Amino acid sequence: MEELIGKVFDEFPTESDWDAVIIGGGPNGLMTAAYLASAGAKVVVVERRYEIGGGLATEEILFPCYYSNMHAIYHMMVDYMPVIQDFNLDRHALVWIKPNLQTAMVFDDGNSLLLTRMVEDTVDSIHKFSHKDAVAFGKLMRTWRRMVSEIVGPATYLPPTPSLDWIVALQRTEIGRELLELNELSPLQIMTDHFENDRVRALLLYVACMWGLDPNESGIGLFVPLLLERGMNKSYCYGGSHKFAGALAREIVRNGGVILEASEVTKVNMQNGNVAGVELMEGRTLNSKVVISSLDPHTTFFDLVGRENLPITLKETVENWKYDKWSYYTLHLVAKEQPKYQCDDPWVNESFMTIFGFDSTDQVVAHWDNVMAGKVSSDFGGHSTCESFWDPHLVRMPGGNVSFFQMHAPYDIEGGWEKRNKELEEAILDKWQRAAPNMKRENIIMTTSETPVDIEIRFPNMRRGGIKHGDYTPMQLGYNRPNTECSSSKTPVGGLYLCGASTYPGGMVTGGPGYVAANRVAEDMGLKKWWKPTPVMEKYIKTYME
Ligand SMILES: Cc1cc2nc3c(=O)[nH]c(=O)nc-3n(C[C@H](O)[C@H](O)[C@H](O)COP(=O)(O)OP(=O)(O)OC[C@H]3O[C@@H](n4cnc5c(N)ncnc54)[C@H](O)[C@@H]3O)c2cc1C
């Protein structure tokens, strides 16, 4: 090969030295690198794909001329994420859109229920179904917003506390004690205890659990206020989610860091029990005493580091690691019109997210039960967004509207994805047309779909299509994620750190794992940290940690 085309990447040495190598250029890897580079470390980010971003992908998959946010579109932690303020990322035209109407649920009989940023508008909407629930929602959100803003929100960006210590710490305040009580319950129990109307329960349960909480699992109740309250504060990244990745990359490069795209790490080199750098697929070696991985536990520990270099506890963690209980199937499309939902409230057509296909809580739960058993019945539902309604940049040929429908789906589907993909696409289009009659076939210009298997092909670190690199269960959350030895990002393997979704606090574009890792590595490397915890984090530390 070399005789024919010369040496690939001639401008880059075959062997080079770094202060830190970051594996994976998704949101967490980029954040870690941005902080370390700005603190003076010589960093390199190594990304397997042809471009950085990971889950922040915006791509022309509806070719030509239509762009879609393939993965993360609903940004839930924008107002908490320290990286945005620390780097003043918004100064280079990074704009977040935060619609008031966040989620609408459209029922078969034409009724609709709205979940809005302004609690009062949700209360008004719930009134259509139950006065008692409307009052309960208003009251509950006053408490839940405090739980999030005073405890769970700031804790997302601080190293995890051992479970027992955290319980003791939360006992210090009344709101902390209430959160602990809530944590004992399952999401379904919480909804059933607080609300009488089944449709109200169905909407709130969907929003609280859609990112991977089992509605029947107890011991994860504290995620309900977090995911519901954050689900009422989703932002859209104007210009596409990839712009966020671009803004982070700019900070890395501005501070002398290097980003290598289309470079896959194939091995973490070891020397005397410590990491010594990484090998890349094209044959280069990057030497470094610090390697920070944003990948899933199997890839990091078994494929790259090697079982022989791991303590037994860590080997057991990886062997027992459970990938996400469900993945996503997404149908992306371009239509001549944006969907016009046939329902009692025209505001639904301006909803950031619209759920349809479900009429009851039982149906929502049955769909998830089916998915966990490897099935999708005709009674499925899911959520959709008309992206180009929020972002005209996604359309480069006038007259098209980009939307998607997304549903929870199993990796191992009965019958196999090759067979079921087309059949599911047709079923979704039928359902969509029933909810929004203008989504008829003659109005659809183009479609393309992404199955859980496709997700894994695009991102091998999202094993089994796992969007969070690992399931949310009590044994894989908090101080236990991925295990008690590694959840603060440092691992028992000398010089190896974790910064991705399989590490505390977990998946989604929260920036939590990336920020916690950056702090830990900076401290261990003796770098001068120029950034400080945000005021809400400081208050949390003072109240619960000192
Ligand atoms: C369909 C779908 C919808 C989603 N929707 C949302 C949403 O609306 N909101 C939200 O907050 N989250 C959403 N997520 C989840 C979110 O995208 C992830 O949890 C998040 O991207 C995890 O960030 P990360 O940086 O830890 O890892 P990733 O984003 O997975 O990044 C890891 C990077 O490592 C690279 N890589 C893999 N192997 C190697 C290797 N050997 N060498 C070098 N690089 C490698 C990958 O290419 C990737 O770029 C969604 C995910 C999917 C799949």
Same domain, 435 and 396: yes
**Inside any domain, residue 83:** no
Ligand 1 in contact with 28 (CB < 6 A)?
A: yes
**Inside any domain, residue 1:** no
The tokens describing 67, both together, are: 């762009």
Buried b (16+ CB within 10 A) or exposed e, 177-187: ebbeebbebbb
pLDDT of residue 35: 98
Same domain, 389 and 436: yes
Same domain, 345 and 220: yes
Contact 157, 515 (CB under 8 A): yes
Contact 285, 15 (CB under 8 A): yes
Separation between Cα atoms, residue 301 and residue 314, nearest integer Å: 8
Query: Ligand 1 centre and the CA of 25: distance in Å?
Result: 9
Ligand 1 in contact with 408 (CB < 6 A)?
A: no
528: which DSSP letter? P
Same domain, 127 and 210: yes
**Inside any domain, residue 5:** no
Domain total for the chain? 2
Ligand 1 in contact with 74 (CB < 6 A)?
A: yes
Same domain, 126 and 191: yes
pLDDT of residue 93: 79
Whether residue 410 has a cis bond before it, omega within 30° of 0: no
- Tell me, what amino acid is at 34? A
Buried b (16+ CB within 10 A) or exposed e, 5-34: eeeeeeeeeeebebbbbbbbbbbbbbbbbb
pLDDT of residue 295: 98
pLDDT of residue 91: 85
Same domain, 432 and 328: yes
Same domain, 231 and 349: yes
Domain closes at, from 458, 483, 504: 458
Separation between Cα atoms, residue 300 and residue 266, nearest integer Å: 10
Q: For ligand 1, atom 17, name the residue with the nearest CA.
A: 55
pTM: 0.97
Separation between Cα atoms, residue 44 and residue 299, nearest integer Å: 19
Phi, psi dihedral angles at 177 (to 5 degrees): -65, -40
Same domain, 348 and 417: yes
Q: What is the CATH number of the domain that holds 28?
A: 3.50.50.60
Q: How far apart are the first and last CA of the chain?
A: 61
Domain closes at, from 431, 458, 485: 458
**Inside any domain, residue 491:** yes
The residue count for the chain: 546
Ligand 1 in contact with 244 (CB < 6 A)?
A: no
Q: What is the CATH number of the domain that holds 445?
A: 3.90.660
Same domain, 232 and 243: no
pLDDT of residue 2: 60
Query: Ligand 1 centre and the CA of 72: distance in Å?
Result: 8
Question: What is the bridge-based pairing of β-strands 20-23 and 291-293?
Answer: parallel
- Give the three-state DSSP class for 213: coil
Contact 495, 275 (CB under 8 A): yes
Ligand 1 in contact with 47 (CB < 6 A)?
A: yes
Phi, psi dihedral angles at 529 (to 5 degrees): -85, 120
Ligand 1 in contact with 71 (CB < 6 A)?
A: yes
Domain that residue 503 falls in: 11-56+238-321+466-545
Same domain, 106 and 173: yes
Read out DSSP for 236-276? EETT-THHHHHHHHHHHHHTT-EEE-S--EEEEEEETTEEE
Query: Ligand 1 centre and the CA of 209: distance in Å?
Result: 19
Pocket test for ligand 1, best of 448, 461, 462, 510 (most atoms within 8 A of CB): 461
Question: What is the bridge-based pairing of β-strands 327-335 and 20-23?
Answer: unpaired
**Inside any domain, residue 70:** no
Separation between Cα atoms, residue 533 and residue 523, nearest integer Å: 14
Same domain, 470 and 447: no
pLDDT of residue 92: 79
Contact 54, 324 (CB under 8 A): no
527: which DSSP letter? P
Q: For ligand 1, atom 48, name the residue with the nearest CA.
A: 54
**Inside any domain, residue 85:** no
pLDDT of residue 263: 96
Contact 302, 34 (CB under 8 A): no
The tokens describing 537, both together, are: 């984090």
**Inside any domain, residue 61:** no
**Inside any domain, residue 71:** no
The tokens describing 286, both together, are: 């990057």
401: which DSSP letter? E
Q: What is the pLDDT of residues 529-541, one digit of tens each?
A: 999 999 999 999 9
Ligand 1 in contact with 455 (CB < 6 A)?
A: yes
Same domain, 390 and 523: no
Burial of 4 (0-12, 13-18, 19+ CB in 10 A): exposed
Q: Quick count: other Cβ atoms within 10 Å of Cβ 326?
A: 24
Sorted by sequence, the CB contacts under 8 Å of residue 388 that are 6+ apart come out as 338, 394, 395, 400, 401, 402, 403
Query: Ligand 1 centre and the CA of 457: distance in Å?
Result: 12
pLDDT of residue 12: 78
The tokens describing 496, both together, are: 């190896």
Give pLDDT < 50 ranges for the chain.
none
- Tell me, what amino acid is at 330? T
pLDDT of residue 6: 56
Choose among 294, 284, 314: nearest CA to 459. Answer: 294
The tokens describing 81, both together, are: 């994420």
Which helix or strand (DSSP H or E) is residue 330 part of? strand 327-335
401-409 β-sheet, strand order: 112-116, 101-106, 353-356, 382-386, 401-409, 327-335, 444-450
Domain closes at, from 458, 474, 497: 458
